[in-house]
């Protein structure tokens, strides 16, 4: 089976297990079972009627902003486990919002590359909106608000806001300037994703920032056999995350999609679990 189709099937399966309760869209209800105490590895809003798990970024802010705790060991532990095991392979293979962005990017239009400075924006979003604001800005009860969800997250607007507002008239009557801001960010993100491959992942996603930092040590990794590599540059040309796999095997931007390994004419690139200890199984093209 073609590698890109295999990855797409895994992404669709991940989207499916993340959002199995499709019938909830009809009544605008949320799944309320015990599975929701577990975090999804990818970005998927827990206010989406179909969602089966908690969003890790939403959960992190919820516990960090609670009256009793200022650091969520539970969510940090889950993120650390996913990160050490998979790194940004979560983004490339398991993230529901990543799949949506890839589908949006298929809309015909001129395709652009993102300036490198924008890649650092997601770390600012992580520190300011996910960590600092929910802990530092609190109400009289000592509770903080999930600033990333509140002011930025387009996944929440798309997966939770739109379907819930369509099915609840009472909620529609409470729409204000904040919702207008979030819809503007959603529209901006959609336009960004049409023009730039995985615009949100590259520029804004705090979850991608966390997994990107763990890419350097993740068990699922990428290895280039220097003896086989002929520096033809085909891997760099095919990479839509704009990574040079030969120079930066542990790049925080690499989502381990494996397209570079398939494009290598010498079979010099290996992507998978414990890649550095394995030899590439592929023969030269």
Partner 1 sequence: MSSKAKKMIRLGGILVSGVFVLYGVVRGEAGIVLNKAVNICFECIGLG
Residues forming the site for partner 1 (CB under 8 A): 30-34, 36-37, 39, 45-47, 51, 53-55, 58-59, 62-63, 66, 68-69, 72-78, 80-81, 83-85, 145-146, 149-150, 153, 156-157, 160-161, 164-165, 171, 174-176, 178-179, 181-183, 214, 216-219, 276-277
Q: What is the nearest approach in angstroms of partner 1 to the Cβ of residue 81?
A: 4
Nearest to 53 by CA among 69, 70, 73, 75: 75
Closer by beta carbon to partner 1, 118 or else 179: 179
Q: What is the nearest approach in angstroms of partner 1 to the Cβ of residue 18?
A: 13
**Are 65 and 135 contacting, i.e. CB atoms less than 8 angstroms apart?**
yes
Closer by beta carbon to partner 1, 62 or else 95: 62
Half-sphere exposure of 263 (CA within 13 A, CB side): 18
Rounded to 10 deg, the angle between the 3-18 and 96-105 helix axes is: 130
Closer by beta carbon to partner 1, 29 or else 240: 29
Q: What is the nearest approach in angstroms of partner 1 to the Cβ of residue 185?
A: 9
Per-residue buried b or exposed e for 19-42, using 16+ beta carbons within 10 Å of the residue's own CB: bebeebbeeeebbeeeebeebbbb
The token pair at 143 is 């509770």
Q: What is the nearest approach in angstroms of partner 1 to the Cβ of residue 217?
A: 5
Q: What is the nearest approach in angstroms of partner 1 to the Cβ of residue 36?
A: 4
Segment (H or E) for 223: strand 220-224
The DSSP bridge partners found for residue 144 are 138
Sign of the CA dihedral with 219 first, then 201, 113, and 238 last: positive
The per-residue DSSP string of 119-161 comes to: GGHHHHHIIIIIIIHHHHSB-TTS-B--HHHHHT-HHIIIIII
Closer by beta carbon to partner 1, 6 or else 216: 216
Closer by beta carbon to partner 1, 38 or else 120: 38
Closer by beta carbon to partner 1, 110 or else 277: 277
Residues near 18 by beta carbon (within 8 Å), at least 6 away in sequence: 40, 42, 44, 51, 52, 53, 96
Segment (H or E) for 271: strand 269-273
Q: What is the nearest approach in angstroms of partner 1 to the Cβ of residue 142?
A: 14
Closer by beta carbon to partner 1, 121 or else 181: 181
Q: What is the nearest approach in angstroms of partner 1 to the Cβ of residue 212?
A: 15
């Amino acid at each position: 089976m073609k590698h890109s189709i295999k990855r797409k099937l895994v992404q669709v399966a991940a989207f499916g297990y993340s959002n199995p309760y499709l019938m909830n869209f009809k009544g605008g209800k949320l799944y309320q079972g015990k599975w929701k105490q577990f975090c999804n590895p990818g970005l998927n809003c827990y206010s989406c009627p179909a969602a089966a798990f908690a969003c890790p970024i939403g959960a992190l802010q919820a516990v960090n902003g609670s009256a009793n705790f200022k650091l969520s060991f539970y969510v940090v532990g889950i993120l650390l486990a996913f990160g050490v095991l998979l790194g940004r392979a979560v983004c490339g293979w398991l993230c529901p919002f990543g799949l949506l962005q890839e589908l949006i990017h298929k809309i015909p239009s001129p395709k652009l590359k993102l300036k490198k400075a924008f890649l650092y924006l997601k770390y600012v979003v992580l520190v300011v909106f996910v960590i600092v604001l929910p802990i530092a800005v609190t109400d009289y009860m000592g509770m903080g608000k999930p600033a990333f969800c509140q002011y930025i997250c387009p996944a929440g607007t798309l997966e939770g806001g739109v379907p819930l507002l369509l099915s609840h008239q009472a909620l529609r009557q409470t729409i204000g300037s904040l919702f207008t801001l979030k819809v503007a960010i959603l529209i901006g993100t959609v336009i960004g994703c049409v023009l730039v491959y995985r615009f949100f992942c590259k520029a804004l996603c705090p979850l991608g920032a966390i997994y990107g930092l763990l890419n350097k040590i993740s068990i699922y990794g990428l290895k280039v056999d220097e003896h086989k590599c002929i520096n033809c540059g085909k891997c760099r040309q095919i990479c839509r995350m704009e990574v040079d796999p030969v120079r930066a095997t542990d790049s925080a931007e690499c989502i381990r999609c494996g397209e570079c390994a398939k494009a290598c004419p010498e079979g010099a690139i290996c992507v998978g679990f414990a890649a550095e200890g394995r030899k590439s199984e592929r023969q030269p093209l």
